[in-house]
Amino acid sequence: MKNGFIKVAAAAPVIRVCDCDYNADRVIETIEKADRLGVKVLAFPALTLTGVECRDLFRHRVLLDGARAALEKVREATRGKDVLAFVGLPYELGTTLLSAAAAVYDGEILGLVPQSRADGSRFRQAPKYPAALDDEAFPVSAGLLFEHRALPGLKVAAELGADLRAVTPPCVDAVLEGATLIVQMADFPQTVSSTADAALNLRYQSKRLAAGMLLAAPGKGESSTDNSYSGLCMAAENGAILSETEGEDSFAVTEIDVEYLLNLRRERGGFDRDSEFDGVRLWGREELADTSLARRFNKHPHLPADPADLPAYCERVLDIQVSALVKRMRYAGLDHCVVGISGGVDSTLAVMVSAMAVRRMGLPAENVIACTMPCFGTSSRTKSNAVIVAEQWGCDVRVIDITKAVLQHFDDIGHAHDDYSLAFENAQARERTQVLMDIANKVNGLDVGTEDLSEFIDGWCTYNGDHTSMYDVNLGLTKTQVRANVSHIAAQTDDKVLKAALYDVLDCPVTPELLPIHDDMIEQKSEDAVGSYALQDFFTHHILINGFAPSKVFRLAKAAYGDEFSDEELKRWLTSWCKRLFSQQFKRSCLMDGPAVQSFTVSPRTGYRIPSDGEAALFLKDLEKLG
């Protein structure tokens, strides 16, 4: 199987209460559908073969025999099918009546997982030891795990009915913690809040256990005596709902990323307690074909998937930035912020955050000194936007032309004025940093850095130039997060002049403005050298945060971006990203302080740390798989 994906589904076919033979046919039809779609794990509701409303009939010999016969019918129908199906039924173990899940695969019952808690007057507590029924070869235990032969990381556990409603984890902790996929076979009826409650629980449990989860509730219209049923089916992965349906013959299908879950578990630790399992049953073919992807991947994984959540998200990010800057200034006894403004999106956000910080401290807006320092590559468009934004926030705007100082520096080191090499570019960035830090010293201020997380990862900054500041408020934000915050402020402001300037900043290409320009046009564009920042942030999320191989990220990028980038472009920018990740680490090894806004940062103290002389060879070799 390629990239760790496995196709799974939860199903709630419309059944008839007490009609086991009919219900078995509906289960078989659903298994056949799942097999055609390439589904490998299929979850049905609790008591699928009888219905949940049989009440006192659950103890009746006719119903129990009918359920066993229906299970045998399902078992026989699964021969040759590569689907592990969990089918619910009442089952007697001696004088103990159980609500159980039969794990059925390729004509075999691999095991019976009973509900582990007593359920009123009907179903009893599961046995605390593995047992065999009659002459059957399969075990009966709530402590069973089902492990795939070709993908050992895929371990499936089942929980049923009352177990889902328990305050504490319903099965033995070791079983749930050992499972990367948990099948929840529900028996709850439909209420006004049942769908929202189920989604909340599924998100919480899958996040807590770093697991995939399937939930199937009784089918639509199953009964109407005292309750109504909706056929709710859901699939979740580590806190995110991936698929959800509710209605007649519900069928929620998606792909669970087992590799992603294993990476999360390795990071957290404490999930493997094999000695406490009652048993592990193997299932599945010896080899797995590639899993087709139907699930959606967010093009901007550092932002909320739902646009409706973006305003609150941006407000929280801004509060983190402002609160951190206020704390640093108060601790250091400083009362001014000094910001180098270029008209780019990063410095625009930094100057606005600085203005918010001094306002929160009760200081006048002019205590933010915004310095624009034009030189060889500065365009009137970026300079104008930088000044407008700072002025509209009431900052003290200073225009300091550094051309003369840089030319003098060239003369001092013997560098030709028309030699546009790296020294030509970096001298300007380092001169700007010197100006900002000296002004900060002069006014009892803090040189507030503007570089963002994306630029630190690709190293698109001048060492000891814009790379350096006294405190960087953008250190924890990717470029897409910076743009989202500037866009949010623009959308919220009533200042028409500020709004127009901010939207023009967002419309401008990202540029370091270090090479000479012609006809006042922006010519040096960062994304021409390092690729789309949206794409870079996508790579960062999946390679560094999720721990995926570049070849897998190539596949995910194709799924997320469609035809926006060609295969050649994706491979070129992935190669560039991998090389720069290693070659530019020396810049990250000495970064200044700055607030993290998500769980990932490249702080050399608390963030993602690698050696400054590491090799990209293995990452580049992995990309060779793409041809």
pLDDT per position as a tens digit, 528-538: 777 899 999 99
Calpha distance 438→447 (Å, rounded): 9
For 101, residues 6+ apart whose C-beta sits below 8 A from its C-beta are: 46, 86, 87, 88, 112, 113, 114, 158, 160, 183, 185
User: Residue 625 pLDDT more than 60?
Assistant: yes
pLDDT value, residue 163: 76
Q: How far apart are CA 44 and CA 238, in angstroms?
A: 21
The per-residue pLDDT of the chain, averaged, comes to 90
| Mean pLDDT of the 588-603 span | 94
Cα–Cα dist 329/290, whole Å: 55
Please name the residues in contact with 378: beta carbons below 8 A apart, sequence gap of 6 or more: 342, 513, 517
Among 121-125, 170-174, 553-557, the least confident range: 170-174
Q: Tens digits of per-residue pLDDT, 546-561?
A: 999 999 999 999 999 9
Give me the DSSP letters along 511-550. ----S--STT-----HHHHH--HHHHHHHIIIIIIS---H
pLDDT confidence band for 168 (50 / 70 / 90)? very low
Q: Is 305 left (phi over 0), alpha (psi -120 to 50) or beta?
A: alpha
Distance CA 516, CA 375 (A): 9
Whole-angstrom distance, CA of residue 30 vs CA of residue 234 = 16
- Neighbour count for residue 158 (Cβ, 10 Å): 31
What is the DSSP secondary structure assignment for residue 96, as one 8-state letter?
Answer: E
Instruction: For residue range 464-500, list pLDDT tens digits in order.
Output: 999 999 999 999 999 999 999 999 999 999 999 999 9
34's enclosing H/E stretch is helix 20-37
Structure confidence at residue 322 as a pLDDT band (50, 70, 90): very high
**Using the 8-state DSSP alphabet, how is residue 596 labeled?**
B
63 contacts 90 by C-beta, under 8 angstroms: yes
Q: How far is CA 251 from CA 382, 532, 609, in A?
A: 53, 38, 43
Cα separation, 339 vs 357, in Å, equals: 13
Nearest residue to 440 via CA among 359, 392, 371, 386: 371
**Predicted model pTM:** 0.87
DSSP H helices in 361-475: 380-392, 403-413, 422-442, 453-458
pLDDT > 80? residue 308: yes
Which among 72, 17, 80 is positioned nearest to 45, based on CA atoms?
Answer: 17
Q: What is the model's pLDDT at position 610?
A: 93
Query: DSSP string of 220-249?
Result: TTS--SS------EEEEETTEEEEEE-STT
Task: Give the number of other CB atoms < 10 A from CB of residue 624.
Answer: 10
Compare 522 and 318 and report the one with higher pLDDT: 318
Read off the pLDDT band of 55 (50, 70, 90): confident
Q: Which two tokens stand for residue 539?
A: 């790579």
Alpha helices in 100-217 (DSSP H): 162-165, 173-178, 194-208
For residues 594 and 452, what is the distance between their CA atoms, to the nearest angstrom?
10
Q: Which of 8-12, 450-454, 509-513 has the lowest mean pLDDT?
A: 509-513
- Tell me how far apart the alpha carbons of residues 504 and 488 are, in angstroms, rounded to a whole number: 14
pLDDT beyond 70 at 172: no
At position 565, the amino acid (one-letter code) is F
Q: Is the pLDDT of residue 437 over 80?
A: yes
Alpha-carbon distance values, 452 to 4, 183, 437, 623 (Å): 32, 41, 19, 27
Q: What is the dihedral of CA 235, 238, 242, 244, to 10 degrees?
A: 40
Q: Is 402 helix (H, G, I), strand (E, B) or coil?
A: coil
CB atoms within 10 A of CB 482: 25
> Quick one: how far is CA 24 from the chain centroid?
38
Residue 364, amino acid: P
DSSP conformational letter for 597: -
> Over 50: is that where the pLDDT of 571 sits?
yes
- What distance in Å separates the CA atoms of residue 162 and residue 226, rounded to the nearest whole number? 18
Q: How many CB atoms lie within 10 A of CB 121?
A: 11
| CA dihedral of residues 450, 452, 456, 458 (deg, nearest 10) | -120
Long-range contacts of 578-581 (CB under 8 A, 24+ apart): 578/543, 578/550, 578/616, 578/619, 578/620, 578/623, 579/616, 579/620, 580/457, 580/458, 580/459, 580/530, 581/457, 581/458, 581/543, 581/544, 581/610, 581/616, 581/619
Burial group, residue 281, by CB count within 10 angstroms (0-12, 13-18, 19+): middle
d(CA 426, CA 463): 8
Q: What is the pLDDT of residues 352-408, one digit of tens each?
A: 999 999 999 999 999 999 999 988 765 555 568 888 999 999 999 999 999 999 999
Structural domains of the chain, ranges and CATH numbers in brackets: 5-283 (3.60.110.10), 307-626 (3.40.50.620)
Give per-residue pLDDT as tens, 245-296: 999 999 999 999 999 999 999 988 777 665 455 678 899 888 888 888 989 9
3-state secondary structure 375-393: CCCCCHHHHHHHHHHHHHC
8 A C-beta contact, residue 506 and residue 382: no
Q: Is the dihedral of CA 547, 549, 550, 553 positive or negative?
A: negative
Do the bridges between strand 155-160 and strand 144-148 make them parallel or antiparallel, or are there none, so unpaired? Answer: antiparallel
Residue 439 has pLDDT above 90, yes or no: yes
